[in-house]
Amino acid sequence: MKPSDHPLTVLVINGPNLNMLGKREPEIYGRDTLDDINADLAAFGAGMNITVDCFQSNYEGALVERIQQAMGQVHGIIINPAAYTHTSVAIRDALLLHTVPVIEVHLSNIYKREEFRHHSMVSGVATGQIAGLGIQGYRLALTAIRNMA
């Protein structure tokens, strides 16, 4: 059996303000909406026999709860914690509950932006990080999880 024959489920978590993609600072984040990204990722994943489960919230507790609920249910997690990247010990700790690959994704290159964005609370527990490649970063993360599964 080829790796792509084995069905996987990947949870995609998006944090605060990502529901405003396409409207919020398109010169930084692009013109694609979160719905565009989710649809693209679902179609891309289907081609690799991956079910993509997308979740977005502006609330830290809701993100933590969804990460907890995924325990034992998913083969990998893609997370763009957005503003919580730099502040959330709670999200970091929730991710520690998982033994599956966790890929941190950022649409913009957080290391070319304001100094406070250079530190990620998540990167220390993530399997890998992709930053600055726009929506392509989500596809790369999904491919990476497929290759690790």
Residues catalogued as catalytic: 29, 106
Q: How far apart are CA 98 and CA 57, in angstroms?
A: 20
Q: Is 35 helix (H, G, I), strand (E, B) or coil?
A: helix
Q: How far apart are CA 69 and CA 92, in angstroms?
A: 15
* DSSP letters spanning the chain: --GGGS-EEEEEEE-TTGGGTTTS-HHHH-S--HHHHHHHHHHHHHTTTEEEEEEE-S-HHHHHHHHHHTTTT-SEEEEE-GGGGGT-HHHHHHHTT--S-EEEEESS-GGGS-GGGG--SSTTTSSEEEESSTTHHHHHHHHHHHHH-
